[in-house]
């Protein structure tokens, strides 16, 4: 089943049309965290929903783009609104909503996920919104920043395909993986994106004041717990990994992030359990025994 219906941006963010700017921003941050690809594995629909949430905020936070969108929605709804003739099917609902065709070194479990932001950052005053284009038509440039540049903001020189030169100021407290939208600056009135990469040689990722790190462990270390050295911006520290640590568990090193205006962030360490590419026969025998015990715990 296919549909050309545009997504309802208010529904995507879970807010009403009379919401103010602060309510809109809070809703965007909530939904962006919920659907961020880093927290949903390889879920294609979560990735698409995350893109739509960013798109919804970009439109609703810009008065001119919101007015243009609301005008197009009013015309389209009169023709294609599946809600006009009763309660929709589940597929129809999805299509409308989704737009488918300690000491400080002691670890502490934290409940909040890795945040990620998507910000509209116009290089100049944006023109009226261009006609919709396919995602493949969007132009994107990868920009690598140091932690200090991401923290305070910096100027980036960008040359477009038509030879146009732009100087773009990145926002302070930027993070690895952010996409900055330069509205309507590319040939044909298309948008151009800057993909920010903020990583160190030790694979530390910067996100605002926080530092993110993926710690790979073999199953025995994750199951029984271990002490392991992890890098930080100020040098390696020893992290005590608790027993029974599964992939996705987050541990916190307090005060090991960046500092700005008297505020200091933490470092979050994500546990990733990995299996060795090659196993000796003795190791295979042990894994088979573990498998047997998992199927029949009483057979000890």
Write the pLDDT tens digit of every residue in 189-216: 888 999 999 999 999 999 999 999 999 9
Instruction: pLDDT band for 115, please (50, 70, 90 cuts).
Output: very low
Question: Cα(256)–Cα(209) distance, rounded to whole angstroms?
Answer: 9
Q: What confidence score (pLDDT) does residue 47 get?
A: 77
CB 151 within 8 A of CB 260: yes
User: Where does CATH 1.10.287.110 sit in the chain?
Assistant: 9-69
User: Where does CATH 2.60.260.20 sit in the chain?
Assistant: 139-198, 201-299
Which CATH number is 139-198 given? 2.60.260.20
Is residue 217's pLDDT more than 90?
yes
- CATH architecture for segment(s) 201-299: Sandwich (2.60)
130/229: higher pLDDT: 229
Which CATH number is 9-69 given? 1.10.287.110
What is the mean predicted confidence (pLDDT) over 26-43?
A: 74
Look at phi and psi of residue 98 and say left if phi exceeds 0, alpha if psi is from -120 to 50, else beta.
Answer: alpha
Predicted TM-score (pTM) of the model is 0.53
Q: What confidence score (pLDDT) does residue 103 get?
A: 43
Question: Cα(113)–Cα(38) distance, rounded to whole angstroms?
Answer: 9
Structure token pair of residue 268: 């979050």
The residues, ordered by sequence, that sit 6+ positions from 84 with a Cβ below 8 Å of its Cβ are 77
What is the mean predicted confidence (pLDDT) over 217-221?
A: 93
What is the mean predicted confidence (pLDDT) over 150-179?
A: 90
Is residue 55's pLDDT more than 60?
yes
175: which DSSP letter? B
Instruction: Render 24-81 in DSSP notation, one character per residue.
Output: HHHHHHHHHHHH-GGGSTT-HHHHHHHHHHHHHHHHHTSHHHHHHHHHHHHHHHHHH-
What is the mean predicted confidence (pLDDT) over 252-274?
A: 94
Question: Cα(166)–Cα(282) distance, rounded to whole angstroms?
Answer: 61
């Amino acid at each position: 089943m296919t549909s050309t219906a545009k997504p309802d941006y208010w529904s995507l963010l879970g807010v009403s049309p009379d919401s103010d700017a602060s309510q809109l921003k809070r809703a965007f941050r909530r939904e962006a965290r919920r659907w961020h690809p880093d927290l949903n594995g390889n879920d294609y629909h979560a990735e698409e929903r995350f893109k739509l949430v960013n798109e919804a905020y970009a439109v609703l936070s810009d008065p001119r783009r919101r007015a243009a969108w609301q005008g197009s929605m009013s015309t389209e709804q009169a023709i294609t609104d599946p809600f006009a003739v009763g309660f929709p099917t589940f597929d129809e609902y999805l299509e409308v909503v989704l737009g488918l065709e300690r000491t400080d070194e002691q670890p502490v479990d934290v409940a909040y996920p890795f945040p990620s932001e998507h910000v509209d950052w116009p290089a100049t005053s944006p023109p009226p919104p261009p006609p919709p284009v396919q995602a493949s038509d969007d132009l994107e440039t990868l920009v690598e920043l140091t932690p200090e540049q991401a923290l305070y903001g910096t100027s980036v020189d960008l040359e477009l395909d038509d030879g146009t030169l732009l100087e773009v100021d990145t926002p302070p407290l930027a993070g690895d993986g952010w996409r900055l939208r330069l509205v309507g600056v590319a040939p044909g009135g298309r948008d151009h994106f800057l993909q920010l990469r903020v990583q160190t040689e030790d694979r530390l990722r910067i996100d605002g004041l926080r530092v993110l790190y993926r710690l790979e462990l073999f199953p025995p270390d994750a199951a029984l717990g271990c002490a392991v050295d992890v890098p930080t911006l100020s040098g390696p520290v020893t992290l005590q990994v608790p027993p029974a640590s599964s992939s996705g568990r987050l541990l916190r090193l307090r005060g090991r992030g960046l500092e700005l205006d008297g505020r200091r962030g933490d470092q979050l360490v994500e546990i990733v359990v990995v299996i060795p590419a090659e196993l000796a026969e003795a190791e295979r025998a042990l894994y088979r025994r573990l498998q047997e015990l998992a199927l029949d715990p009483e057979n000890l």
